Structure 1
Amino acid sequence: MKVIEHIAKATDTLFTIEILPPKKGEDIQTLFSHIDSLMEFKPAFIDVTYHREEHVYKEMGDGMLKKYVTRKRPGTVGICAAIQNRYNVDTVPHVICGGFSQEDTENMLIDLDFLGIQNVLVLRGDPVKSESGFVPHPEGHCYANELIEQIAGMNQGKYLYDEGSATPTNFCIGAAGYPEKHFESPNLGTDLQYLKNKVEAGAEFIVTQMFFDNQVYFNFVELCRANGIDVPIIPGLKPLVTIKHLTALPKYFFLDIPEALRKEVAKCKDNKQAREVGIEWCVQQCQELKAAGVPCLHFYTMSKSEMVRRVAEQVF
């Protein structure tokens, strides 16, 4: 079932999660054990991230350089298929621009369509560590709206090299939204225009970056509606669980920590106390968002289910 169909049929706020593919060397049971502990909350769908291959170049001693892969996670396509087969839950694989040609993307989407996976979340993707900024594949897309246009074209039967009739795909396309703006955008107004471009290209729902101040989300939704963005906007959430998160989350996700939350965490003597503060804060966020009638509460689990479980027990 498509994400927008789940939302349309729901009589209450849905519970959904995002998971990371296991690191190389881990088997799928590690992932299943994480998902198992959250299944009692009946997730409507599960997002599966995609991490690009990363590499370094090392000198060989003769003046030559050799490329070494330093990071690789198992394929998102196979993991989505495994999750749907085991749990009968819809999956939403991430599809990214970075590292892929348009042909690579088309091949991945053909595989997803063959497997009956009807949803995708489209992102430009982050630069790899060896890049100072995002560098697109020479035969790929620079921006998410361009990738969305390719997928929307496939939904109309338009393939790259097919000169005859082709069977249309049937993907429900999601896009990322940034309530505190994307870090590369000069201002929120510009970022909203980029988001509108994604919707006009074919995005049917939006999932936001995590935030810790609900008013930021409410203001963002209001601005989206005022700018003609009328698709469902799903709030993304994550419990703050360590003292270090006070600085790490703003650094890596370009977001603000509310002063009230900062003060409470700053009082904590250790991470155990910080975890309790973070869970309680997230519970209060969820209760307020649920009361406001948001379509879903979407949790960034980082493949650690315990904290999300503790929040869900008090909300669903």
Structure 2
Amino acid sequence: MRGNLAPTRLSASAPLDSPEEAFQSTPSQRRRGTRTALSFELIPPRHGADTALLDELIAGLAAYNPDYVAVTSSMRSDWLEGTSALIERVASTTDLRPIAHLACTAGTKAELEGWIRELIDVGVRGFLALRGDLQPGQTALPEGYLQHATDLLNLINEVQEEQAFHLAAGKLALSVACYPSGHAESKNFDEDLDVLLAKQRLGADFAITQLFFDAADYLEFVDVARLAGVRIPLIPGIMPMTSLKRVQRMGELSGLEVPKTVVEKLSAAGTPEEEYEVGMELSAELARTILRAGTGGLHVYTHNNLAVTRDLLGRIGIQQP
């Protein structure tokens, strides 16, 4: 838990709001009674994957009428080729609104420029702009690659201008990542805030959080970000904790230490079934706490598991319409 967030200085770029205005966008004072926003992360399957299972997953998630689905890119599905293929399938078989993960690591600036155009052509109307993970020992991306997510936002904006006639209202939805538990490469939390403010100034419409394990980390992060001048929605990303192995692996990939209390509770389970039940209840309570605080929505990291996603949403009272 980030107990030291409150003293963080206000950014020089923060708007000159009155104290009352500054707090109106915090989760605790969000308008009550509105529908909980819901979005899902989808992972392009490996080559040769069962298309029937993929279609079942897409249809099952579509039944919740999510606001959008975010489609990742990875080496196992040929990077943006897999992203494009899955988005084309989603767009042609459902009314889902897809946004595409786009990372600086996926190619050179020229290659990314081409992919942005192609993804727009297959139905993308939004991007999640990311730097992406460096390889072990890397301190920067190779020459010709964009080095930061802010550079990628600038590139998307350039392509967006030329593609205005293809886009509704001439505008793509631009999203970015944010880090309630801190970015592994940041010097301090102030640097995280400055980067998020820079992304906002470059046109980011909303941010999706990376992994966190404590609701207080997210809620305190939002409070401090609002004081610093962040006005875009900060959507909490929730990962179903189905096993200790999964949790530790995701913590390792995110550069986060899994809280001792989470490890102890999962370790105390006697069987895989008990471990699953403990982990899912921890996940559900995390989501319930955030929603009770007035947060407007959730982004679920599905790992392409429809049954687990349904289980999590059922535990927090979100049913298919």
TM-score range, shorter chain: 0.7 to 0.9
* TM-score relative to the length of structure 1: 0.82
State the Cα deviation string for residues 8-30 of structure 1 (Å, max 9, x = none).
Answer: 9x931122110110012224433
Distance 1:242 1:167, change over 3 A: closer
Please name the residue that 1:57 is paired with: none
User: Take 1:83 and 1:294, find their aligned partners in 2: how far apart are those partners?
Assistant: 28
AA aligned opposite 1:269: G
Matched, 1:112 2:135: no
Does the Cα contact within 8 Å between 2:269 and 2:275 map onto a contact in 1? yes
Alignment pair present for 1:42 and 2:65? yes
> In structure 2, how many angstroms separate the alpha carbons of the residues matched to 1:247 and 1:46?
25
Is the 8 Å Cα contact of residues 87 and 122 (structure 2) preserved in structure 1?
no
CA contact (8 A) 1:77 1:112 kept: yes
State the Cα distance separating 1:111 from its structure 2 match.
1.9
Residues 98 and 137 of structure 1 are in contact (CA less than 8 Å); yes or no, is this contact kept in structure 2? no
CA–CA separation in structure 2 for the residues paired with 1:15 and 1:111 = 27
Q: Distance in 1 between matches of 2:297 and 2:132?
A: 23
Structure number with higher helix proportion: 2
Deviation for aligned residue 1:232: 0.4
RMSD: 2.4
Q: Deviations over 1:64-83 (max 9, x none)?
A: xxxxxxx7365212211211
Separation in structure 1 between the aligned mates of residue 46 and residue 297 of structure 2, nearest angstrom: 28
Higher strand proportion (structure 1 or 2)? 1
Q: Which moved more, 1:277-286 or 1:24-33?
A: 24-33
Q: Does 1:17 align with 2:40?
A: yes
Measure how far apart 1:104 and its partner are. Answer: 1.5
Aligned 8 A contact 1:45 1:91 in 2: yes
Are 1:142 and 2:143 counterparts?
A: no
CA distance in 2, matches of 1:32, 1:147: 31
**CA offset at residue 166 of structure 1?**
8.7
Percent identity over paired residues: 25
CA distance in structure 1 between the aligned counterparts of 2:91 and 2:60, rounded to whole angstroms: 16
- Name the residue aligned to 1:102: 109
2:309 aligns with 308
Name the structure, 1 or 2, with higher relative contact order (CA <8 Å, separation 6+): 2
* 8 Å contact from structure 2 (residues 45, 82) kept in 1: no
In structure 1, the partner of 2:197 is 196
Residue deviations 1:113-156 (CA, integer Å, cap 9, x gap): 2334211100011134xx52254242220000010011122333
| 5+ long unaligned stretches in structure 2 | 1-30
Q: 1:206-238, CA deviations, whole angstroms, 9 ceiling, x for partnerless residues?
A: 000121211000111112112211100000001
Structure 2 partner of 1:170 = 171
Q: TM-score by structure 2 length? A: 0.80
SS state at 1:93 partner: strand
What are the equivalent positions in structure 2 for 1:50-129 lying under 5 Å apart? 50-52=73-75, 72=78, 74-128=81-135
SS, match of residue 161 in structure 2: coil
After TM superposition, where is structure 1 displaced by more than 4 Å over at least 4 residues in a row? 165-169
* Residues paired across the two proteins, number: 283
